[in-house]
Amino acid sequence: MFRILALCLLFSAASLQAQEAVPEGPLYYTIEPDIITNYHNSGQTLGYIRVTVDLMLESADKMPLVEQHIPLLRDALNSLLAEQDQQEIRSLALREQLAAKGLQRLNDLLLAETGETPIRRLLFTKFLYQ
């Protein structure tokens, strides 16, 4: 009788751990370290920008796919930010458009590399410029 009870508890614990290991729904992935680059400031000077980017993924099973391609994604975001000018960087309204452009660019790259578009949203959780 004790063995049956012990086996039931063991299977219950294993089932609970399996449920905890894979969260359902969207999952957030923070690109680390922050992305730091220069952008075109007024005149001949360059501005400095530092952003923290969080990616909302469709599901937890997409995490390995995104992690595998982080160097490609970081480069794409770095290039996108460097292409902007002072007005685009400093405008709150244009910042949302910049996030949408980044989302599109990252999903296009991942679609070309993997055949999937796992990123649902791109969020700038820190956005510092000088």
- Domain borders along the chain are 25-129
Neighbours of 101 (CB within 10 A): 17
pLDDT for position 15: 53
| 35-93 pLDDT, tens digit each | 999 988 777 788 899 999 999 999 999 999 999 999 999 999 999 999 998 888 889 88
pLDDT for position 52: 97
Of 111 and 15, more confident: 111
3-state secondary structure of 25: coil
Checking if the pLDDT of 126 tops 90, the result is: yes
d(C-alpha 66, C-alpha 88), whole Å: 27
Of 8 and 12, more confident: 12
Domain 25-129, architecture per CATH: 2-Layer Sandwich (3.30)
pLDDT for position 5: 46
pLDDT for position 40: 81
Tokens of 12: 């219950």
